[in-house]
C-alpha cells in the first residue's frame, strides 16, 4: 500500500501488525485508532496537554482489557464438536465479499485447522495449510483436499490418471544420460556408430527406469524435465511420471507423503519412497487445465484448500478471507475464550470505562471519557453499514445493556429480529479484541507525542 502521509503510514503498519499477530480485526483496529485520534483532537482544542491525554488513554485501555476478560466466556469444542468454531469463523466471514458462502467456507477452514492442529500443545502450524486458487467454476466449488495439489499433469497423455496406494520417488536429479563436464565432440561417420550411440542412450534410460521399478516406485515426481524418448520409455514400462515440479512443492510433497528427496540416482532406496493412498489427475471444464491431487498421504497433516471463482480478483479476495478464518480458528485453539461480536463487546467496554472515569481525579478523566466515546465508533460504523439509524440504534442497544446488565446485546446487522449476539451466534476471539484495543491505543499515544513532522522535501 503506497501512502505518502506519515501518520497514514503508521495506520498501515498498525493494520499489518494486527494481521501478523492475530490475523483478523485489521479494519476494526484502524477504525478504533481513527476514533481515538478524533477524540484527542477535541481534547487538544480544549487545551489539555497531549501527554495527559496519552496517560488517560493508557488507563482507559487497561480498564477495557480487564473488562473484556471479565465478560469473556470459555467455550468448549473438540474434534467431534466443531460447531462453536464454525460459528466463530462465520462471524469473521460475514463482513467479507464471500459472505454468501460463509457456512461452507467456515467449515472448510475449521476442518483444515483441526487436521493440522496439535490439540495437546494447543499449537497450529498454518504453513501446513496450502491455499490454492484456480480461475473458473464458482465459489461453491471450493473444496478441502486432505493432501496436496500440484499444478502439473502426467508427462504422457496415455499414462494412468489414477494411482491407488502410490509409492512415490521424489527426484531432484535430471532423468537423462550424464553429460561430460568437459567440452566434447563425437564424430559419427557411419549409421552403425549412430545406432550404437542411440542404443547406449536407450540402455541408460532403461536402467534408470528399471532402478525406479526395482525399489518399488509406482510414480516418479521429478524436479527437472526429461525428453520425449524417456517419456515414451516410462509409458511403455508402465511407470507414471510428473516433470518440472517446483522445489517448494517437492518439499511439501515430501513432508506429506513421508518420503525423502533423492538428489542422486544411486541413492534411491525403498525407504526413501513417499506413500499416498490416492494420486489422481483432475481436469477442469472445457479448458485443458489439469491438476494432480495427492491424497490420503502417510503424514496426513498437510492439507490444501482449493478455491474456485469467476475471476482472479474473487479468488484473491477469497484467499484473504480464508486466511482470516484460519487465523480465528487457530486463535481459538490457542486460547478458547470468546467475547460477543456485533459491537457488543465495544459497547460493554464503553459503559465500563465511562463508569470508571469518575474514580480518577485530574485531567485524565476527560481522556478516559473520550476513550469511552471512541469505543462507540465500531458499533456506529456497523449500524451505518447495515443501513440503520446509527445514533438511535446505538443508544437503544446501550440502554438495553445497562438496564439488563447483559454484555451480549449488539447491533442487529442482518435484521434477524434480536439484538442478543448469543442467540445470533456472533462471536469474536478475546485475544483478538484485546490486541485491537492495545495496538490502537499504543499507536495513538505515539502520534500524540509527535509535535511536528518535517519532511525532507521542504528543505
With vertex at residue 177, the alpha carbon angle to CA 171 and CA 180, rounded to the nearest 5 degrees, is 115
Q: How far apart are CA 9 and CA 27, in angstroms?
A: 15
Q: How far apart are CA 248 and CA 259, in angstroms?
A: 14
Q: How far apart are CA 366 and CA 116, in angstroms?
A: 48
pLDDT at position 300 is 65
Q: How far apart are CA 8 and CA 15, in angstroms?
A: 11
Q: How far apart are CA 89 and CA 425, in angstroms?
A: 11
Q: How far apart are CA 90 and CA 427, in angstroms?
A: 9
CA distances from residue 11 to 6, 14, 61, 367, 431 in whole angstroms, order as listed = 9, 5, 18, 21, 20
Based on its alpha-carbon atoms, the radius of gyration of the chain, rounded to whole angstroms, reads 30
Contact 142, 193 (CB under 8 A): no
Strands laid side by side in the 73-74 sheet = 73-74, 337-340, 427-429
Paired with 145 in beta bridges are 304
With vertex at residue 375, the alpha carbon angle to CA 424 and CA 379, rounded to the nearest 5 degrees, is 35
Locus of grid cell 466471514: 93
pLDDT at position 1 is 64
Q: How far apart are CA 312 and CA 167, in angstroms?
A: 35
Residues near 50 by beta carbon (within 8 Å), at least 6 away in sequence: 40, 44, 448, 449
pLDDT at position 395 is 92
Furthest CA-CA distance within the chain: 105
Q: How far apart are CA 433 and CA 378, in angstroms?
A: 12
> What are the grid coordinates assigned to 262, written together?
533423492
Q: How far apart are CA 296 and CA 133, in angstroms?
A: 21
> What are the grid coordinates assigned to 368, written together?
478516559
Domains of the chain: 6-75+339-404+418-449 (1.10.560.10), 147-299 (3.50.7.10)
34: exposed, middle or buried (Cβ count in 10 Å: 0-12, 13-18, 19+): middle
Q: How far apart are CA 158 and CA 294, in angstroms?
A: 19
Q: How far apart are CA 235 and CA 231, in angstroms?
A: 6
> What's the sign of the alpha-carbon dihedral 62, 68, 71, 73?
negative
Q: What is the pLDDT along the chain (459 residues), one digit of tens a residue?
A: 677 788 888 888 888 888 888 877 888 899 999 999 999 999 999 999 999 999 999 999 999 999 999 998 887 777 777 887 888 888 888 878 888 888 999 999 999 998 888 878 888 888 888 898 888 888 888 999 888 888 888 888 888 889 999 899 998 887 776 666 777 777 888 888 888 888 888 888 888 888 888 888 899 998 888 777 788 888 888 889 898 888 888 888 888 888 899 888 888 888 989 889 899 988 887 667 888 998 888 776 788 999 988 889 999 999 999 998 898 888 888 888 888 888 899 999 999 999 999 888 888 889 999 999 999 988 999 899 888 898 999 999 999 989 988 888 888 887 778 888 888 888 888 888 999 999 999 999 999 988 777 767 665
Amino acid at each position: 500500500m503506497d501512502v505518502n502521509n506519515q501518520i497514514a503510514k503508521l495506520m498501515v503498519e498498525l493494520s499489518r501488525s494486527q494481521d501478523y499477530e492475530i490475523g483478523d480485526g485489521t479494519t476494526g483496529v484502524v477504525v478504533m485508532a481513527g476514533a481515538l485520534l478524533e477524540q484527542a483532537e477535541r481534547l487538544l482544542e480544549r487545551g489539555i496537554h497531549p501527554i495527559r491525554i496519552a496517560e488517560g488513554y493508557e488507563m482507559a485501555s487497561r480498564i477495557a482489557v480487564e473488562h473484556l476478560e471479565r465478560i469473556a466466556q470459555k467455550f468448549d469444542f473438540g474434534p467431534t464438536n466443531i460447531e462453536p468454531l464454525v460459528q466463530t469463523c462465520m462471524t469473521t466471514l460475514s463482513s467479507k465479499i464471500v459472505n454468501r458462502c460463509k457456512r461452507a467456507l467456515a467449515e472448510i477452514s475449521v476442518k483444515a485447522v483441526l487436521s493440522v492442529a496439535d490439540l495437546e500443545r494447543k499449537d497450529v502450524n498454518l504453513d501446513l495449510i496450502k491455499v490454492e486458487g484456480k480461475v473458473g467454476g464458482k465459489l461453491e466449488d471450493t473444496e478441502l483436499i486432505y493432501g496436496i495439489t500440484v499444478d502439473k499433469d502426467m508427462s504422457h497423455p496415455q499414462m494412468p490418471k489414477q494411482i491407488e496406494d502410490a509409492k512415490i520417488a521424489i527426484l531432484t536429479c535430471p532423468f537423462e544420460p550424464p553429460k561430460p563436464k568437459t567440452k566434447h565432440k563425437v564424430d559419427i561417420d557411419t549409421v552403425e556408430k549412430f545406432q550404437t550411440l542411440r542404443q547406449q542412450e536407450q540402455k541408460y534410460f532403461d536402467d534408470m527406469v528399471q532402478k525406479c521399478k526395482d525399489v518399488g516406485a509406482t510414480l516418479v515426481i521429478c524436479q527437472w524435465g526429461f525428453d520425449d524418448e524417456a517419456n515414451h520409455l516410462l509409458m511403455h514400462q508402465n511407470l507414471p511420471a510428473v516433470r518440472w515440479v517446483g522445489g517448494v512443492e517437492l518439499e511439501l510433497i515430501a513432508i506429506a507423503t513421508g518420503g525423502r528427496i533423492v538428489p542422486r540416482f544411486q541413492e534411491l532406496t525403498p525407504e526413501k519412497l513417499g506413500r499416498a493412498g490416492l494420486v489422481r489427475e483432475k481436469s477442469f471444464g472445457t479448458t485443458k487445465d489439469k491438476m494432480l491431487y495427492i491424497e490420503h498421504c502417510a503424514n496426513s497433516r498437510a492439507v490444501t484448500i482449493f478455491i474456485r471463482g469467476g475471476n482472479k480478483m474473487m479468488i484473491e479476495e477469497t484467499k484473504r478471507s480464508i486466511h482470516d478464518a484460519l487465523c480465528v480458528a487457530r486463535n481459538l485453539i490457542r486460547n478458547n475464550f470468546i467475547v460477543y461480536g456485533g459491537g457488543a463487546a465495544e459497547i460493554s467496554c464503553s459503559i465500563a470505562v465511562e463508569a470508571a472515569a469518575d474514580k480518577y481525579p485530574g485531567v485524565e478523566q476527560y481522556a478516559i471519557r473520550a476513550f469511552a466515546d471512541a469505543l462507540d465508533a465500531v458499533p456506529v460504523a456497523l449500524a451505518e453499514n447495515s443501513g440503520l439509524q446509527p445514533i438511535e440504534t446505538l443508544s437503544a442497544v446501550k440502554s438495553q445493556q445497562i438496564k439488563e446488565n447483559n454484555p451480549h446485546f449488539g447491533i442487529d446487522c442482518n435484521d434477524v429480529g434480536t439484538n442478543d449476539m448469543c442467540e445470533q451466534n456472533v462471536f469474536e476471539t478475546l485475544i483478538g479484541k484485546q490486541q485491537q484495543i492495545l495496538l490502537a491505543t499504543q499507536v495513538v499515544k505515539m502520534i500524540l507525542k509527535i509535535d511536528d513532522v518535517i519532511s525532507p522535501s521542504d528543505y
